[in-house]
């Protein structure tokens, strides 16, 4: 029935109605904020896990592969809902902002205050530049295909360079025990983790390893390709989950 409404007969809300609609906005936003802080952060902690927890897991191969791949899931789903129904291009930024809030809270309280790790050892990575770009692509293109291909790829490709200013300095070489280690490796050696011995780190392993110096770009392009698919998949999951049933009646 909403299709029957034409531009000519559209009457914007005023007065009480406008106020109620605004209150509804805030209610939804606050709920979304809490929901995403909790759920996206949990999803991230369970999947990306150690690659995001520990500074000595942030390698050239797995970290830039896994993080964007998981990081694009919720943004894609939320974009699908907010863009198709409301033309709001902020799904990705909103999700990633919530993820950052949740992660920082966890690192400070669970890791630092409760388990005594220095915060610099468990600093999260940022996906915000990637998310901003993704939102902008969707807004300009208004197309799932273009956003999946260009936005999804950029989401992955921007990840490593946008985090290098945070983590680059942890890769300075240190001489320890007659060998060369990075500062990050020293954190792993010095700050004792009983359940996380060094050999459990899944870093610098696999076929890409053979490509040595260009392992990072290769890994990022691999991630870009997968992100394109992941984006499309989660866009559809988002659409399937979302329902505007009762908005249809307004």
Of residues 146 through 185, those in contact with another protein by CB under 8 A are 154, 158, 161-162, 164-185
Closest to another protein by CB, 147 vs 228, is: 147
- Phi, psi for residue 186 in degrees, rounded to 5: -65, -35
Q: What are the CA-CA distances from residue 198 to residues 61, 81, 82, 103 (Å)? A: 17, 42, 43, 23
- Phi, psi for residue 30 in degrees, rounded to 5: -65, -45
Contacts of 132 (CB under 8 A, 6+ apart): 92, 93
Angle at 102 between CA 99 and CA 103, to 5 degrees: 80
Closest to another protein by CB, 166 vs 233, is: 166
Q: Which helix (H) or strand (E) holds 223?
A: helix 215-241
Q: What are the CA-CA distances from residue 215 to residues 63, 203, 208, 220 (Å)? A: 12, 12, 6, 9
Closest to another protein by CB, 133 vs 235, is: 133
Rounded least distance, CB 236 to another protein, Å: 20
Site string for another protein, 80-99 (x = CB under 8 A): -----xxxxxx--xx-xx--
- Phi, psi for residue 116 in degrees, rounded to 5: 70, 10
Which residues within the stretch 183-202 sit at the binding site for another protein (CB under 8 A)? Answer: 183-187, 189-195, 197-201
Q: Is 244 in the site for another protein (CB under 8 A)?
A: yes
Q: Is 143 in the site for another protein (CB under 8 A)?
A: no
| Tokens coding 186 | 């020293």
Give the range of 33-41, 72-80, 220-228, 233-241 binding another protein by CB under 8 A. Answer: 33-41
Q: Which of 48, 52, 56, 74 binds another protein (CB under 8 A)?
A: 56
Which residues within the stretch 100-119 sit at the binding site for another protein (CB under 8 A)? Answer: 100, 104, 106, 110-111, 114-119
Which residues within the stretch 207-236 sit at the binding site for another protein (CB under 8 A)? Answer: 215
Closest to another protein by CB, 27 vs 229, is: 27
Please tell me what DSSP assigns to residue 61: S
Q: Which of 35, 108, 214, 229 binds another protein (CB under 8 A)?
A: 35
Q: Is 240 in the site for another protein (CB under 8 A)?
A: no
Q: Is 206 in the site for another protein (CB under 8 A)?
A: no
Closest to another protein by CB, 86 vs 240, is: 86
CB atoms within 10 A of CB 52: 23
């Amino acid at each position: 029935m909403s299709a029957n409404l034409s531009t000519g007969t559209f009457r914007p809300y005023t007065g009480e109605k406008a106020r109620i609609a605004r209150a509804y906005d805030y209610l939804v936003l606050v709920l979304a904020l809490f929901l995403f802080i909790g759920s996206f952060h949990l999803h991230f902690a369970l999947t990306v896990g150690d690659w995001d927890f520990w500074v000595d897991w942030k390698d050239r191969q797995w970290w830039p592969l896994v993080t964007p791949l998981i990081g694009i899931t919720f943004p894609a789903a939320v974009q699908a809902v907010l863009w198709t129904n409301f033309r709001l291009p902020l799904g990705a930024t909103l999700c990633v902002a919530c993820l950052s809030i949740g992660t920082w809270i966890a690192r400070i309280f669970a890791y630092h205050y409760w388990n005594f790790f220095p915060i610099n050892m468990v600093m999260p990575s940022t996906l915000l530049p990637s998310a901003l770009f993704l939102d902008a692509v969707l807004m300009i293109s208004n197309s799932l295909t273009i956003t999946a291909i260009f936005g999804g790829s950029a989401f992955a490709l921007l990840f490593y360079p946008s985090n290098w200013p945070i983590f680059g300095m942890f890769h300075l070489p240190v001489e320890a025990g007659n060998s060369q280690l990075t500062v990050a490796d020293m954190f792993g050696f010095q700050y004792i983790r009983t359940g996380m011995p060094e050999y459990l780190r899944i870093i610098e392993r696999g076929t890409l390893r053979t490509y040595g110096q260009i392992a990072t770009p290769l890994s990022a392009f691999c991630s870009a390709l997968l992100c394109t698919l992941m984006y499309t998949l989660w866009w559809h999951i988002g659409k399937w989950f979302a329902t505007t049933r009762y908005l249809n009646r307004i």
